[in-house]
């Protein structure tokens, strides 16, 4: 919980610091335009990547396979689009990292080795049974 609180406090401080520094170097108007341009371009590219991910997921479903990567990619693209809408350069950088397929695969590979899930293969068949009394089956 403390790391989340620290993140909530530090991200806006870093964003404000970078906005002031970059604004003093290139000017306030250009900085504001740069924020709007990155948001617009990022959201349109996120839409494009989202549609590609949806198509890929539908192909996986048509092959009767579970679209695990596509579901994670869709969530990452959505988070990346939200980060691109939030004004700031650090959030824009993180948003673009989540939207580009190459960096997204790299991030997924890092987390997949960290959170490894192994399916257990069991050698039994799951089923139901009903116990039938022999007294009911006998004829008088």
Among 19-23, 72-76, 90-94, 123-127, the range scoring the smallest mean pLDDT is 123-127
Q: Is the pLDDT reported for residue 120 higher than 70?
A: no
Distance CA 38, CA 17 (A): 18
Distance CA 39, CA 42 (A): 5
Tell me, what's the pLDDT at 127?
74
Residue 65, phi then psi, degrees to nearest 5: -115, 155
Report the predicted TM-score, pTM, of the whole model to 2 decimal places: 0.73
Q: Count other C-beta atoms under 10 Å from residue 113's C-beta.
A: 8
User: What sections of the chain are H helices per DSSP?
Assistant: 2-26, 28-62, 68-85, 89-99, 101-114, 134-137
pLDDT in tens, 99-113: 999 999 998 888 887
Q: Is the pLDDT reported for residue 1 higher than 70?
A: no
* Sign of the torsion formed by the C-alpha atoms of 47, 52, 55 and 57: negative
Confidence class for position 133, pLDDT limits 50, 70, 90: low
């Amino acid at each position: 919980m403390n790391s989340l609180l620290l993140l909530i406090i530090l991200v806006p401080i870093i964003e404000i610091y970078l906005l002031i520094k970059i604004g003093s170097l290139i000017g306030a108007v250009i900085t504001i335009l740069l924020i709007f341009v990155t948001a617009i371009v990022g959201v349109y590219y996120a839409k494009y990547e989202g549609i590609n991910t949806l198509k890929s997921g539908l192909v996986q479903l048509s092959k009767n396979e579970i679209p695990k990567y596509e579901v994670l990619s869709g969530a990452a693209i959505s988070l990346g689009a939200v980060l691109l809408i939030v004004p700031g350069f650090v959030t824009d950088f993180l948003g673009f990292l989540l939207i580009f397929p190459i960096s997204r695969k790299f991030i997924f590979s890092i987390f997949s080795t960290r959170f490894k899930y192994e399916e257990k293969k069991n050698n039994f068949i799951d089923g139901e049974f009903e116990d039938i009394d022999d007294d009911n089956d006998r004829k008088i």
